[in-house]
Structure 1
Amino acid sequence: MSPFSLRGLHWFQALSAGSTFVDGLPASLKVADGVLGEQPVRFIAVVADPQNRFVRARHGEVGLLEGWGLAKAVDEVIEADRATPRKRALIAIVDVPSQAYGRREEALGIHQALAAAADSYARARLAGHAVIGLLVGKAMSGAFLAHGYQANRLIALRDPGVMVHAMGKVSAARVTLRSVEELEVLAASVPPMAYDIDSYASLGLLWETLTVEQIEQPTASDLARVSDCLRQAIGDVESTGADLSSRLGATNRAASSKVRQRLREQW
């Protein structure tokens, strides 16, 4: 059994079959240009690289190489498609356990690397590229902020291994001075503290959730269903615009909406 998740890699391989792979990036980044239906797309995934020169980024974490590499992969699309009427969509396949924690990462500016990736995704979105995040595994911490969270639409596969949070359970329990068991009890009544996809969906941040037969190694029917959903998401972005307003209005984010309203009134 692999010591790290292979979900992101397997879904990238399935979705990008027959595509043109992009060279010149770290081994932990998989990037390919292809099509979904008639829509040109660029598939992007961060995957485990056991030989990564940065030890803290060997299990799929987003570190220095990954942050700057993501920014490069996205910026290339923005520049190449600047004068193109039909711009490529960006499909961010998300299976990231964390950002890379380490002294070297902090000293060399991991905050800048992750910010560069997030900035590139945001600029791509504002430049007219539909950005779709497909959550097939963990979407944790700064790694998710750098790779996926700037998407116009987020799609999650239904599985206990698909989860979104600021930190892992053990770390969250330590920070909140609780046991893991106490944290889970709290999460049952406070959706933002929970890890499961249903709780995250209740915050209005997911556009769609899908059930598949084999999340670890997608079947042909899984691939067809997810591909169709990705096409629909791209079409929805094209018809409604590039902002993130679709995330607003959820019942469990009522206070957030009030804060936004007050800020608009005062500013």
Structure 2
Amino acid sequence: MPRRNLPELRPVPQNAGHGRGATWFQALAGTATPAVGLPASVLVADSCLDNYPARYLAVIPDPNNPFPRARQGEVGLLEGWGLAKAVDEAIEADREAPEKRALVAIVDVPSQAYGRREEALGIHQALAGAADAYARARLAGHPVIALLVGKAMSGAFLAHGYQANRLIALRDPGVQVHAMGKASAARVTQRSVEALEALAASVPPMAYDIDSYASLGLLWETLSVAQIEQPGGDDLARVQACLGQALADIAQRGRDLSGRLGAPNRAASARVRQLLREQWQ
């Protein structure tokens, strides 16, 4: 399928990043080459998904990041604005296109970047810019899919992935979703990590594992692969098939997020929304 209005391209660096985000980006984007004009910690490339145009996006570690707090794959100032730029470019390029490219966010982000410089320079605006771009893309008709291959923590996940029409998670202990890391959560709740884990066993929203998160109704699908760190051909084919199914499901069932409210552990959320609608009307 011909590509439309693509940015200038450069070869994929052989040592581009480390970790699952970079690994799965290179596996899924295939021979496509990442776009230039973005931070080294943000990988973006245009390819296809089931013969449908798709833009793959990932945040990866950059040991040379000028912001030390964002060198381990965290989403900071450069990453937030970089993601927003990449998504905005896709929205603008496809504005008049009958077929708007899919956006596939590959998620392995341990946190947003905590630091005095980040706060002073407006990390809240950078991350809000990324979340806003993904939301506007979804509302403009771009199918948005998030693939969780590692950690999806805190504001980093809100900025990169959470606005997706469909959330897919690989089954692995290293795939975790939460508002903050265990050590931070233990400090905030004035518990030990062990006590926090014991609490999480009975309170799903406090847990980190994928099954607990899935019980909240937020995941569209979970799937297992044999080698999550270094996916083989069968692993890649399985994930590509699932992404294709998500794309078809979005086309069939619509692009809103109403499907997230049906789980038993979201009953209170659904009830609150109902009451708000009744009072508003």
**What TM bracket, shorter-length normalisation?**
over 0.9
Aligned to 2:141: 128
Q: 1:97-144 CA deviation, whole Å, 9 max, x = no partner? A: 000000000000000000000000000000000000000000000000
**CA distance in 1: counterparts of 2:187 and 2:72, whole angstroms:** 23
- Residue deviations 1:142-187 (CA, integer Å, cap 9, x gap): 0000000000000000000000000000110111111111111110
**Which of 222, 238, 250 is the matching residue for 1:237?**
250
* 1:18 aligned residue (23, 31, 36): 31
DSSP 3-state at the match of 1:119: helix
Aligned to 1:140: 153
Residue among 221, 229, 239 paired with 1:216: 229
- 8 Å CA contact 1:78, 1:124 repeated in 2: yes
1:150 aligned onto 2:163: yes
For residues 263 and 87 of structure 1, what CA distance do their matches in structure 2 show?
34
Matched, 1:177 2:200: no
What TM-score, normalized to structure 1?
0.98
After superposition, the C-alpha distances for 1:71-95 in whole angstroms (9 at most, x for unaligned) are 0000000000011011100000000
Residues 180-199 of structure 1: matches in 2 within 5 Å? Answer: 180-199=193-212
Structure 1 residue 5 displacement after superposition: 5.7
Whether 1:37 and 2:50 are equivalent positions in the alignment is yes
Of the two structures, which has the highest relative contact order with CA contacts closer than 8 Å and spacing of 6 or more?
Answer: 1
Q: CA RMSD in A?
A: 0.9
Name the TM-score, length of structure 2 as normaliser: 0.93
Match of 2:113 among 86, 93, 100: 100
2-structure distance, mates of 1:6, 1:181:
27
- Quote how far apart the aligned CAs of 1:240 are: 1.2
Cα deviation for residue 239 of structure 1 reads 1.0
Structure 2 unaligned blocks of 5 or more: 1-16
> Any gaps of 5 or more consecutive residues in structure 1?
none
Deviation at 1:37, TM superposition (A): 1.9
Deviations 1:192-225 (A, max 9, x none): 0000000000000000001001000111000000
The residue aligned with 2:93 is 80
